[in-house]
Amino acid sequence: MKRSVMRVIRQIPSYLRLLAGLIRDRRVSRFDRLLVIGTLAYIVSPLDFIPDVIPFLGEVDDVYLLMLALQRMVDRAGFAVLRDHWRGDPAALEELDLARVVSAAAFFLPLRLRRRLRRMAGR
């Protein structure tokens, strides 16, 4: 599980660029674009439920929320829309199993925090 989360943590800059592209894409619903803006704000904010200064665990809440937002995008806008905005390694996006990463990140989060982040992501 930790390896799955670590792979995503290394790709966070690519995912942030992906989310920024989705904000401008008219194929994505307005509500989902607002969720993306909220996710980006949470990730770049110094105020997190788990501070980023804590190695590994500090990024887990970011990864969890990021993957929930992406999972929602794939469900609603389609994988092709995500591919149009992906600037990272193409294999990383093709191999990404969002549900597996969400569940791996969830393993490291307390239940109350998981529920709060899921509500934030509209899931």
Tokens, residue 3 = 């390896």
3-class DSSP assignment, residue 89: coil
Measured CA to CA in angstroms, residue 24 lies from 19, 29, 44, 76 at distances of 9, 10, 19, 16
Query: Tens digit of pLDDT for each residue in 85-107?
Result: 888 777 777 766 666 666 777 77
Q: What is the pLDDT of residue 121?
A: 67
Q: What is the 3-state secondary structure (H, E, C) of 25-38?
A: CCCCCHHHHHHHHH
Q: Which residues of the chain have pLDDT under 50?
A: none
Tokens, residue 74 = 């794939």
The reply to whether the predicted model has a pTM over 0.85 is no
DSSP letter at 46? S
3-class DSSP assignment, residue 96: coil
Q: What is the pLDDT of residue 95?
A: 66
